[in-house]
Amino acid sequence: MSAADILRSPDVEAWLARSVAAAEARGLRELKPLLESLARSLQALRDADAEFGHPALPDPDDHAR
Amino acid sequence: MIERRELSPVELTRACLDRIDAGNADLRAFITVMREQALADAARAEEEIGKTHYRGALHGIPVSVKDLVSIAGTPTTSGSNVPARHPRHDAPVVANLRRAGAVIVGKTNLHEFAFGTTSDETAFGAVRNPHDRSRSAGGSSAGAAVALVEGMCFGSVGTDTGGSIRIPAAACGVTGLKPTLAEISTEGVVPLSTTCDHVGPLALSVADAALMYFAMLDGDARVERLSAPADGQLWLGVPEAYFLDKLDDGTRASFTHARSRLLAAGHAISSVSVAHAQRTADVYLHICLPESSWYHAPLLKEHAERYSPGVRLRLEMGRYILAEDYVRALHGRTALQRAVDRALEGLDALVLPALAIGAPPLGATSVVIDGASQPVRAMMLRLTQLFNITGHPAIAIPCGTGADGLPRSVQLVGHRGGTERLLAVAAALERQITGGPGSVGGGAG
Protein backbone atom coordinates (compact mmCIF):
# COMPACT_ATOMS: atom_id res chain seq x y z
CA MET A 1 0.00 0.00 0.00
CA SER A 2 1.42 3.38 -0.93
CA ALA A 3 1.28 6.62 0.99
CA ALA A 4 -1.24 7.85 -1.57
CA ASP A 5 -3.46 4.84 -0.81
CA ILE A 6 -3.50 5.61 2.87
CA LEU A 7 -4.44 9.22 2.17
CA ARG A 8 -7.26 8.14 -0.12
CA SER A 9 -8.57 5.56 2.33
CA PRO A 10 -7.41 6.43 5.80
CA ASP A 11 -9.54 3.90 7.67
CA VAL A 12 -7.96 2.56 10.83
CA GLU A 13 -7.25 -0.89 9.44
CA ALA A 14 -5.40 0.57 6.47
CA TRP A 15 -3.58 3.02 8.72
CA LEU A 16 -2.38 0.18 10.94
CA ALA A 17 -1.22 -1.97 8.03
CA ARG A 18 0.65 0.92 6.50
CA SER A 19 2.20 1.97 9.80
CA VAL A 20 3.34 -1.54 10.74
CA ALA A 21 4.86 -2.05 7.29
CA ALA A 22 6.68 1.28 7.53
CA ALA A 23 7.96 0.48 11.02
CA GLU A 24 9.20 -2.96 9.95
CA ALA A 25 10.93 -1.42 6.94
CA ARG A 26 12.79 0.81 9.40
CA GLY A 27 13.79 -2.18 11.53
CA LEU A 28 11.33 -1.32 14.30
CA ARG A 29 9.40 -4.58 14.66
CA GLU A 30 8.88 -3.85 18.38
CA LEU A 31 6.55 -1.02 17.41
CA LYS A 32 3.88 -3.41 16.14
CA PRO A 33 2.12 -4.08 19.48
CA LEU A 34 2.27 -0.38 20.34
CA LEU A 35 0.77 0.56 16.98
CA GLU A 36 -1.96 -2.04 17.45
CA SER A 37 -2.80 -0.47 20.79
CA LEU A 38 -2.69 2.98 19.22
CA ALA A 39 -5.05 1.76 16.48
CA ARG A 40 -7.66 0.87 19.11
CA SER A 41 -7.28 4.33 20.59
CA LEU A 42 -7.50 5.90 17.13
CA GLN A 43 -10.73 4.04 16.40
CA ALA A 44 -12.18 5.24 19.70
CA LEU A 45 -11.15 8.82 18.92
CA ARG A 46 -12.74 8.72 15.47
CA ASP A 47 -15.86 7.10 16.89
CA ALA A 48 -16.17 10.08 19.22
CA ASP A 49 -16.57 12.61 16.37
CA ALA A 50 -20.31 12.90 16.95
CA GLU A 51 -19.92 12.95 20.73
CA PHE A 52 -17.45 15.82 20.45
CA GLY A 53 -19.79 17.71 18.13
CA HIS A 54 -17.88 17.52 14.85
CA PRO A 55 -19.15 20.57 12.99
CA ALA A 56 -19.77 18.69 9.73
CA LEU A 57 -21.96 16.08 11.35
CA PRO A 58 -25.68 16.63 11.97
CA ASP A 59 -26.40 18.27 15.30
CA PRO A 60 -28.75 16.00 17.30
CA ASP A 61 -30.67 19.13 18.33
CA ASP A 62 -31.48 19.81 14.65
CA HIS A 63 -33.65 16.68 14.51
CA ALA A 64 -35.57 17.78 17.55
CA ARG A 65 -36.62 21.03 15.93
CA MET B 1 14.14 32.10 61.27
CA ILE B 2 16.41 33.03 58.40
CA GLU B 3 15.04 36.57 58.34
CA ARG B 4 15.73 36.88 62.08
CA ARG B 5 19.19 35.44 61.47
CA GLU B 6 18.51 32.52 63.81
CA LEU B 7 19.29 30.12 60.98
CA SER B 8 22.19 30.46 58.58
CA PRO B 9 21.52 29.85 54.85
CA VAL B 10 25.07 28.50 54.58
CA GLU B 11 24.50 25.98 57.36
CA LEU B 12 21.10 25.03 55.97
CA THR B 13 22.54 24.53 52.50
CA ARG B 14 25.43 22.52 53.91
CA ALA B 15 22.94 20.30 55.76
CA CYS B 16 21.04 19.63 52.53
CA LEU B 17 24.26 18.89 50.66
CA ASP B 18 25.25 16.47 53.44
CA ARG B 19 21.92 14.68 53.04
CA ILE B 20 22.47 14.45 49.31
CA ASP B 21 25.93 13.00 49.95
CA ALA B 22 24.49 10.46 52.36
CA GLY B 23 21.48 9.30 50.36
CA ASN B 24 21.91 9.99 46.68
CA ALA B 25 23.89 6.91 45.69
CA ASP B 26 21.03 4.78 46.96
CA LEU B 27 18.01 6.85 45.95
CA ARG B 28 19.39 8.54 42.80
CA ALA B 29 17.43 11.72 43.32
CA PHE B 30 20.04 14.06 41.83
CA ILE B 31 21.90 13.95 38.53
CA THR B 32 24.02 17.05 39.18
CA VAL B 33 24.90 18.44 42.59
CA MET B 34 25.91 22.12 42.44
CA ARG B 35 27.86 22.15 45.71
CA GLU B 36 30.21 25.07 45.17
CA GLN B 37 27.73 27.35 43.47
CA ALA B 38 25.08 26.55 46.10
CA LEU B 39 27.41 27.38 48.98
CA ALA B 40 28.49 30.60 47.24
CA ASP B 41 24.85 31.58 46.64
CA ALA B 42 23.99 30.75 50.26
CA ALA B 43 26.88 32.91 51.48
CA ARG B 44 25.65 35.78 49.31
CA ALA B 45 22.13 35.34 50.68
CA GLU B 46 23.46 35.36 54.23
CA GLU B 47 25.34 38.56 53.56
CA GLU B 48 22.30 40.26 52.01
CA ILE B 49 20.05 39.23 54.88
CA GLY B 50 22.68 40.47 57.32
CA LYS B 51 22.37 43.86 55.62
CA THR B 52 18.57 43.61 56.05
CA HIS B 53 18.03 43.09 52.32
CA TYR B 54 15.63 40.23 52.97
CA ARG B 55 13.84 39.27 49.75
CA GLY B 56 11.15 36.96 51.07
CA ALA B 57 10.41 33.47 52.28
CA LEU B 58 12.69 31.68 49.82
CA HIS B 59 15.73 33.86 50.48
CA GLY B 60 18.57 31.51 51.42
CA ILE B 61 16.38 28.40 51.08
CA PRO B 62 17.84 25.35 49.26
CA VAL B 63 15.75 24.18 46.30
CA SER B 64 16.23 21.71 43.45
CA VAL B 65 15.47 21.92 39.73
CA LYS B 66 14.42 19.03 37.48
CA ASP B 67 17.15 18.25 34.98
CA LEU B 68 14.91 19.23 32.09
CA VAL B 69 15.24 22.93 32.88
CA SER B 70 18.08 25.21 31.80
CA ILE B 71 20.54 26.44 34.40
CA ALA B 72 23.36 28.47 32.86
CA GLY B 73 26.68 26.64 32.97
CA THR B 74 25.13 23.31 33.96
CA PRO B 75 24.34 20.52 31.49
CA THR B 76 20.69 19.64 30.89
CA THR B 77 20.74 15.86 30.51
CA SER B 78 16.97 15.24 30.50
CA GLY B 79 17.88 11.95 32.16
CA SER B 80 19.20 10.65 28.86
CA ASN B 81 22.33 9.41 27.16
CA VAL B 82 21.39 11.60 24.22
CA PRO B 83 23.97 14.43 24.26
CA ALA B 84 23.09 17.03 26.88
CA ARG B 85 22.25 20.65 26.18
CA HIS B 86 24.64 23.24 27.59
CA PRO B 87 22.56 26.37 28.13
CA ARG B 88 24.18 29.78 28.44
CA HIS B 89 21.14 31.30 30.12
CA ASP B 90 18.90 30.35 33.00
CA ALA B 91 15.34 29.43 32.09
CA PRO B 92 13.01 32.26 33.21
CA VAL B 93 11.64 30.05 35.98
CA VAL B 94 15.18 29.59 37.33
CA ALA B 95 15.95 33.29 36.98
CA ASN B 96 12.78 34.04 38.96
CA LEU B 97 13.79 31.63 41.72
CA ARG B 98 17.20 33.31 41.94
CA ARG B 99 15.48 36.69 42.10
CA ALA B 100 13.51 35.39 45.08
CA GLY B 101 16.84 34.47 46.69
CA ALA B 102 16.52 30.67 46.47
CA VAL B 103 19.70 28.60 46.59
CA ILE B 104 19.78 25.92 43.90
CA VAL B 105 21.52 22.80 45.22
CA GLY B 106 21.28 20.67 42.10
CA LYS B 107 19.37 19.11 39.24
CA THR B 108 17.11 16.16 39.87
CA ASN B 109 16.67 12.82 38.14
CA LEU B 110 13.63 12.04 36.01
CA HIS B 111 12.08 9.60 33.61
CA GLU B 112 14.04 10.11 30.40
CA PHE B 113 12.86 13.26 28.60
CA ALA B 114 9.90 13.29 31.02
CA PHE B 115 8.30 10.63 28.83
CA GLY B 116 7.20 8.19 31.52
CA THR B 117 5.69 7.93 34.96
CA THR B 118 7.94 5.48 36.79
CA SER B 119 11.45 6.97 36.43
CA ASP B 120 13.05 3.59 35.81
CA GLU B 121 14.00 4.54 32.26
CA THR B 122 16.79 7.04 32.91
CA ALA B 123 20.45 7.06 32.09
CA PHE B 124 21.25 7.85 35.73
CA GLY B 125 19.69 4.84 37.45
CA ALA B 126 16.10 4.21 38.49
CA VAL B 127 14.88 6.63 41.15
CA ARG B 128 13.96 4.70 44.31
CA ASN B 129 10.98 5.45 46.53
CA PRO B 130 12.15 6.37 50.06
CA HIS B 131 9.14 4.58 51.57
CA ASP B 132 10.06 1.28 49.91
CA ARG B 133 13.22 1.16 47.86
CA SER B 134 11.91 -1.66 45.68
CA ARG B 135 9.21 0.67 44.39
CA SER B 136 9.03 3.50 41.89
CA ALA B 137 9.01 7.07 43.11
CA GLY B 138 6.57 7.90 40.31
CA GLY B 139 7.49 10.22 37.51
CA SER B 140 8.58 11.89 35.66
CA SER B 141 9.71 14.40 38.34
CA ALA B 142 10.71 11.59 40.72
CA GLY B 143 14.01 13.02 41.94
CA ALA B 144 12.21 16.26 42.83
CA ALA B 145 9.84 14.41 45.17
CA VAL B 146 12.48 12.14 46.70
CA ALA B 147 14.76 15.11 47.42
CA LEU B 148 11.98 16.69 49.50
CA VAL B 149 11.17 13.54 51.46
CA GLU B 150 14.84 13.08 52.29
CA GLY B 151 15.49 16.68 53.34
CA MET B 152 17.86 17.29 50.45
CA CYS B 153 16.02 20.55 49.69
CA PHE B 154 12.87 22.41 50.75
CA GLY B 155 11.27 23.05 47.39
CA SER B 156 11.57 21.48 43.94
CA VAL B 157 10.88 22.60 40.40
CA GLY B 158 9.04 19.95 38.37
CA THR B 159 7.28 19.70 35.05
CA ASP B 160 3.92 18.09 34.34
CA THR B 161 2.67 17.01 30.91
CA GLY B 162 0.34 14.17 31.97
CA GLY B 163 0.82 14.23 35.74
CA SER B 164 4.60 14.38 36.16
CA ILE B 165 4.44 16.68 39.21
CA ARG B 166 1.34 15.19 40.85
CA ILE B 167 2.22 11.51 40.27
CA PRO B 168 5.60 11.52 42.06
CA ALA B 169 4.17 13.83 44.73
CA ALA B 170 1.45 11.23 45.36
CA ALA B 171 3.82 8.27 45.18
CA CYS B 172 6.22 9.84 47.68
CA GLY B 173 3.80 11.67 49.99
CA VAL B 174 4.56 15.32 49.25
CA THR B 175 2.57 18.20 47.74
CA GLY B 176 2.68 18.90 44.00
CA LEU B 177 1.05 21.77 42.12
CA LYS B 178 0.32 21.96 38.41
CA PRO B 179 -0.73 25.56 37.84
CA THR B 180 -3.10 26.72 35.10
CA LEU B 181 -1.69 26.00 31.64
CA ALA B 182 0.88 28.57 30.44
CA GLU B 183 0.94 30.43 33.74
CA ILE B 184 4.61 29.69 34.51
CA SER B 185 6.96 30.02 31.57
CA THR B 186 8.14 26.83 29.84
CA GLU B 187 10.92 28.72 28.03
CA GLY B 188 14.25 26.98 28.57
CA VAL B 189 12.52 23.71 29.42
CA VAL B 190 13.04 20.70 27.14
CA PRO B 191 9.54 20.13 25.76
CA LEU B 192 7.60 16.90 25.78
CA SER B 193 4.23 18.02 24.46
CA THR B 194 4.35 21.72 23.68
CA THR B 195 0.64 22.34 24.29
CA CYS B 196 0.33 20.17 27.43
CA ASP B 197 3.61 20.98 29.24
CA HIS B 198 3.34 22.79 32.57
CA VAL B 199 6.01 23.91 35.05
CA GLY B 200 5.23 23.89 38.77
CA PRO B 201 6.50 23.22 42.28
CA LEU B 202 6.72 20.24 44.61
CA ALA B 203 6.97 21.05 48.30
CA LEU B 204 6.38 19.80 51.83
CA SER B 205 3.11 21.69 52.38
CA VAL B 206 0.55 23.73 50.49
CA ALA B 207 2.01 26.96 51.91
CA ASP B 208 5.48 26.00 50.70
CA ALA B 209 4.07 25.08 47.29
CA ALA B 210 2.37 28.50 47.13
CA LEU B 211 5.62 30.30 47.96
CA MET B 212 7.47 28.29 45.31
CA TYR B 213 4.67 29.03 42.83
CA PHE B 214 4.94 32.78 43.39
CA ALA B 215 8.72 32.67 43.16
CA MET B 216 8.60 30.67 39.93
CA LEU B 217 5.90 32.93 38.51
CA ASP B 218 7.59 36.30 38.99
CA GLY B 219 10.40 36.09 41.53
CA ASP B 220 8.44 37.49 44.47
CA ALA B 221 7.94 35.00 47.34
CA ARG B 222 7.02 37.36 50.16
CA VAL B 223 4.68 35.70 52.64
CA GLU B 224 2.28 38.64 52.31
CA ARG B 225 1.27 37.22 48.93
CA LEU B 226 -0.14 34.06 50.49
CA SER B 227 -3.92 34.03 50.56
CA ALA B 228 -5.49 33.03 53.84
CA PRO B 229 -6.87 29.48 53.78
CA ALA B 230 -10.38 29.54 52.35
CA ASP B 231 -12.87 30.21 55.11
CA GLY B 232 -16.05 28.39 56.08
CA GLN B 233 -17.96 25.84 54.09
CA LEU B 234 -16.50 24.92 50.73
CA TRP B 235 -18.44 23.48 47.82
CA LEU B 236 -16.70 20.44 46.45
CA GLY B 237 -17.54 17.97 43.69
CA VAL B 238 -16.38 14.39 43.39
CA PRO B 239 -16.32 13.14 39.80
CA GLU B 240 -17.23 9.51 40.33
CA ALA B 241 -17.82 7.86 36.95
CA TYR B 242 -14.51 6.98 35.29
CA PHE B 243 -12.39 8.61 38.03
CA LEU B 244 -13.36 6.22 40.83
CA ASP B 245 -13.90 3.17 38.62
CA LYS B 246 -10.40 1.72 38.87
CA LEU B 247 -8.64 2.30 42.20
CA ASP B 248 -6.57 -0.08 44.25
CA ASP B 249 -7.84 -0.94 47.72
CA GLY B 250 -5.48 1.41 49.55
CA THR B 251 -6.40 4.36 47.35
CA ARG B 252 -10.13 3.69 47.61
CA ALA B 253 -9.93 3.41 51.41
CA SER B 254 -7.80 6.53 51.89
CA PHE B 255 -9.96 8.58 49.52
CA THR B 256 -13.16 7.44 51.28
CA HIS B 257 -11.60 8.42 54.59
CA ALA B 258 -10.56 11.84 53.29
CA ARG B 259 -14.04 12.43 51.89
CA SER B 260 -15.58 11.56 55.27
CA ARG B 261 -13.26 14.00 57.03
CA LEU B 262 -14.23 16.78 54.65
CA LEU B 263 -17.92 16.07 55.20
CA ALA B 264 -17.41 15.98 58.95
CA ALA B 265 -15.70 19.36 58.71
CA GLY B 266 -18.91 20.77 57.25
CA HIS B 267 -18.04 21.04 53.58
CA ALA B 268 -20.70 20.38 50.96
CA ILE B 269 -19.70 17.49 48.73
CA SER B 270 -21.73 16.50 45.70
CA SER B 271 -21.22 13.91 43.00
CA VAL B 272 -20.55 15.45 39.60
CA SER B 273 -19.92 14.06 36.17
CA VAL B 274 -17.35 15.10 33.59
CA ALA B 275 -18.71 14.47 30.11
CA HIS B 276 -16.45 12.54 27.72
CA ALA B 277 -14.01 11.66 30.55
CA GLN B 278 -13.64 8.13 29.22
CA ARG B 279 -12.13 9.66 26.03
CA THR B 280 -9.29 11.31 27.96
CA ALA B 281 -6.51 8.87 27.08
CA ASP B 282 -7.46 8.79 23.39
CA VAL B 283 -7.37 12.58 23.12
CA TYR B 284 -4.19 12.82 25.16
CA LEU B 285 -2.29 10.25 23.09
CA HIS B 286 -3.15 11.89 19.79
CA ILE B 287 -1.90 15.26 21.03
CA CYS B 288 1.09 14.25 23.14
CA LEU B 289 2.63 11.65 20.83
CA PRO B 290 2.97 13.76 17.66
CA GLU B 291 4.05 16.84 19.61
CA SER B 292 6.81 14.87 21.34
CA SER B 293 7.86 13.24 18.07
CA TRP B 294 8.16 16.66 16.47
CA TYR B 295 10.71 17.82 19.05
CA HIS B 296 12.68 14.59 19.00
CA ALA B 297 12.75 14.03 15.21
CA PRO B 298 16.24 15.52 14.69
CA LEU B 299 17.57 13.81 17.81
CA LEU B 300 16.16 10.43 16.75
CA LYS B 301 17.83 10.87 13.39
CA GLU B 302 21.24 11.30 14.99
CA HIS B 303 21.05 9.43 18.31
CA ALA B 304 18.23 6.87 18.18
CA GLU B 305 20.36 4.17 19.81
CA ARG B 306 21.09 6.38 22.81
CA TYR B 307 17.46 6.50 23.98
CA SER B 308 16.04 3.96 26.41
CA PRO B 309 14.23 1.42 24.21
CA GLY B 310 10.79 2.11 25.69
CA VAL B 311 11.10 5.89 25.40
CA ARG B 312 12.36 5.62 21.84
CA LEU B 313 9.42 3.43 20.82
CA ARG B 314 6.88 5.83 22.34
CA LEU B 315 8.52 8.69 20.45
CA GLU B 316 8.49 6.70 17.21
CA MET B 317 4.76 6.00 17.62
CA GLY B 318 3.90 9.66 17.27
CA ARG B 319 5.41 9.79 13.80
CA TYR B 320 2.59 7.63 12.45
CA ILE B 321 -0.30 9.81 13.62
CA LEU B 322 -2.03 11.62 10.78
CA ALA B 323 -2.50 15.38 10.90
CA GLU B 324 -6.27 14.87 10.58
CA ASP B 325 -6.29 12.81 13.78
CA TYR B 326 -4.17 15.36 15.63
CA VAL B 327 -6.71 18.04 14.71
CA ARG B 328 -9.50 15.63 15.73
CA ALA B 329 -7.88 15.30 19.15
CA LEU B 330 -7.57 19.10 19.46
CA HIS B 331 -11.31 19.31 18.83
CA GLY B 332 -11.85 16.70 21.55
CA ARG B 333 -9.68 18.79 23.83
CA THR B 334 -12.04 21.74 23.49
CA ALA B 335 -14.98 19.50 24.38
CA LEU B 336 -13.13 18.20 27.45
CA GLN B 337 -12.26 21.75 28.56
CA ARG B 338 -15.93 22.69 28.42
CA ALA B 339 -16.86 19.50 30.28
CA VAL B 340 -14.50 20.25 33.19
CA ASP B 341 -15.66 23.88 33.25
CA ARG B 342 -19.26 22.65 33.50
CA ALA B 343 -18.41 20.16 36.24
CA LEU B 344 -16.84 23.00 38.25
CA GLU B 345 -19.82 25.35 37.95
CA GLY B 346 -20.83 26.53 41.41
CA LEU B 347 -17.99 24.64 43.07
CA ASP B 348 -14.74 25.65 44.72
CA ALA B 349 -12.92 22.54 43.50
CA LEU B 350 -13.21 19.00 42.24
CA VAL B 351 -11.88 16.35 44.63
CA LEU B 352 -10.50 13.02 43.45
CA PRO B 353 -7.48 10.81 44.06
CA ALA B 354 -4.26 11.95 42.40
CA LEU B 355 -2.98 8.46 41.68
CA ALA B 356 -5.14 5.36 41.30
CA ILE B 357 -2.57 3.03 42.84
CA GLY B 358 0.20 3.03 45.39
CA ALA B 359 3.73 3.31 44.05
CA PRO B 360 4.27 0.27 41.80
CA PRO B 361 7.31 -2.02 42.03
CA LEU B 362 10.23 -0.78 39.93
CA GLY B 363 10.07 -2.34 36.50
CA ALA B 364 6.44 -3.47 36.80
CA THR B 365 4.42 -3.10 33.60
CA SER B 366 1.06 -4.22 34.98
CA VAL B 367 -0.89 -4.13 38.24
CA VAL B 368 -3.96 -6.06 39.34
CA ILE B 369 -7.03 -4.04 40.29
CA ASP B 370 -10.28 -5.75 41.25
CA GLY B 371 -8.88 -9.01 39.87
CA ALA B 372 -8.01 -7.60 36.44
CA SER B 373 -4.56 -6.82 35.10
CA GLN B 374 -4.09 -3.17 34.12
CA PRO B 375 -1.12 -1.45 32.43
CA VAL B 376 0.94 0.53 34.94
CA ARG B 377 1.42 3.46 32.56
CA ALA B 378 -2.31 3.87 31.97
CA MET B 379 -3.08 3.58 35.68
CA MET B 380 -0.45 6.15 36.63
CA LEU B 381 -1.81 8.73 34.17
CA ARG B 382 -5.49 7.94 34.54
CA LEU B 383 -6.48 10.65 37.04
CA THR B 384 -4.10 13.45 36.13
CA GLN B 385 -3.75 13.71 32.35
CA LEU B 386 -7.23 15.18 31.77
CA PHE B 387 -6.18 18.41 33.46
CA ASN B 388 -3.10 18.72 31.26
CA ILE B 389 -5.41 18.55 28.27
CA THR B 390 -7.83 21.09 29.73
CA GLY B 391 -5.31 23.34 31.50
CA HIS B 392 -7.15 23.47 34.84
CA PRO B 393 -4.90 23.93 37.91
CA ALA B 394 -4.57 20.84 40.09
CA ILE B 395 -2.75 20.04 43.29
CA ALA B 396 -1.89 16.70 44.91
CA ILE B 397 -1.93 16.66 48.72
CA PRO B 398 -0.89 13.67 50.88
CA CYS B 399 -3.80 12.07 52.73
CA GLY B 400 -2.17 9.22 54.61
CA THR B 401 -1.03 5.75 53.68
CA GLY B 402 -2.70 2.56 52.51
CA ALA B 403 -2.49 -0.74 54.36
CA ASP B 404 0.61 -1.37 52.24
CA GLY B 405 2.34 1.53 54.00
CA LEU B 406 2.60 3.54 50.80
CA PRO B 407 1.47 7.17 50.58
CA ARG B 408 -1.85 8.10 49.05
CA SER B 409 -2.95 11.49 47.79
CA VAL B 410 -6.01 13.63 47.15
CA GLN B 411 -6.12 15.84 44.07
CA LEU B 412 -7.99 19.13 44.03
CA VAL B 413 -8.82 20.76 40.70
CA GLY B 414 -9.69 24.43 40.41
CA HIS B 415 -11.03 26.81 37.80
CA ARG B 416 -8.82 27.77 34.87
CA GLY B 417 -6.90 30.91 35.82
CA GLY B 418 -7.73 30.29 39.48
CA THR B 419 -4.49 28.83 40.78
CA GLU B 420 -4.29 31.24 43.74
CA ARG B 421 -7.87 30.43 44.77
CA LEU B 422 -7.09 26.71 44.44
CA LEU B 423 -4.11 27.18 46.77
CA ALA B 424 -6.36 28.88 49.34
CA VAL B 425 -8.86 26.01 49.11
CA ALA B 426 -6.03 23.49 49.36
CA ALA B 427 -4.62 25.21 52.43
CA ALA B 428 -7.99 24.89 54.18
CA LEU B 429 -8.52 21.25 53.19
CA GLU B 430 -4.94 20.23 53.94
CA ARG B 431 -5.43 21.08 57.58
CA GLN B 432 -8.75 19.25 57.77
CA ILE B 433 -7.51 16.07 56.15
CA THR B 434 -4.11 15.72 57.73
CA GLY B 435 -4.48 17.73 60.91
CA GLY B 436 -1.95 20.33 59.81
CA PRO B 437 0.57 21.23 57.14
CA GLY B 438 3.18 18.61 56.50
CA SER B 439 3.82 15.53 54.48
CA VAL B 440 3.68 11.82 54.94
CA GLY B 441 7.34 11.66 54.16
CA GLY B 442 8.42 14.21 56.72
CA GLY B 443 10.69 17.11 56.04
CA ALA B 444 14.18 18.19 56.68
CA GLY B 445 13.39 18.99 60.28
B272-310 per-position pLDDT tens digit: 999 999 999 999 999 999 999 999 999 999 999 999 999
Q: Beta strands B349-353 and B175-178: pairing type?
A: unpaired
Domains of chain B: 9-225 (3.90.1300.10), 235-281+322-429 (3.90.1300.10)
Rounded mean pLDDT, B424-436: 82
User: What pLDDT band is residue B3 in, cutting at 50, 70 and 90?
Assistant: confident
DSSP-based three-state secondary structure for B203 = strand
Whether residue A57 is contained in a domain is answered as: no
- pLDDT at position B230 is 87
Whether residue A61 is contained in a domain is answered as: no
The overall average pLDDT reported for chain B is 95
pTM: 0.95
Residues of chain B with pLDDT > 90: what percent? 93
> Which residues of B are known to be catalytic?
66, 140, 164
Provide the strand spans (E) within B46-129: 62-66, 103-108, 128-129
Distance CA B242, CA B336 (A): 14
Cis peptide before B64 (omega within 30 of 0): no
For B327-354, give the DSSP string.
Answer: HHHHHHHHHHHHHHHHHHTT-SEEEEES
Rounded mean pLDDT, B104-112: 98
**Where would I find the H helices in chain A?**
3-8, 12-25, 31-47, 60-64
Angle, vertex CA B440, rays to CA B435 and CA B442, nearest 5? 100
Whether residue A60 is contained in a domain is answered as: no
Whether residue A44 is contained in a domain is answered as: yes
A5-60 per-position pLDDT tens digit: 545 457 999 999 999 999 999 999 999 999 999 999 999 999 999 999 998 888 76
User: What pLDDT band is residue B116 in, cutting at 50, 70 and 90?
Assistant: very high
Backbone angles phi, psi at B82, to 5 degrees: -60, 140
Sorted by sequence, the CB contacts under 8 Å of residue B193 that are 6+ apart come out as B161, B162, B287, B288, B291, B292, B388
- Number of domains observed in the structure of chain A: 1
Domain limits at A8? Answer: 3-52
User: What pLDDT band is residue B441 in, cutting at 50, 70 and 90?
Assistant: very low
What residues in A contact B332, CB-CB < 8 Å? 45, 48, 52
- The alpha carbon of residue B317 is apart from the nearest alpha carbon of chain A, in Å, by 7
Rounded mean pLDDT, B348-358: 98
User: What pLDDT band is residue B443 in, cutting at 50, 70 and 90?
Assistant: very low
- Answer whether B317 sits within 8 Å of A31, measured CB to CB: yes
The complex's ipTM works out to 0.92
B124-182 per-position pLDDT tens digit: 999 999 999 999 999 999 999 999 999 999 999 999 999 999 999 999 999 999 999 99
Whether residue A15 is contained in a domain is answered as: yes
B373-400 per-position pLDDT tens digit: 999 999 999 999 999 999 999 999 999 9
What residues in A contact B320, CB-CB < 8 Å? 15, 19, 22-23, 35, 38
Burial class (CB in 10 A: 0-12, 13-18, 19+), A13: exposed
CA atoms within 13 A on the CB side of B33: 20
Whether residue A43 is contained in a domain is answered as: yes
DSSP-based three-state secondary structure for B260 = helix
Provide the strand spans (E) within B169-296: 175-178, 198-203, 235-239, 268-272
- pLDDT at position B228 is 87
Angle, vertex CA B33, rays to CA B27 and CA B37, nearest 5? 155
With beta carbons less than 8 A apart as the criterion, state whether B185 and B91 touch.
Answer: yes
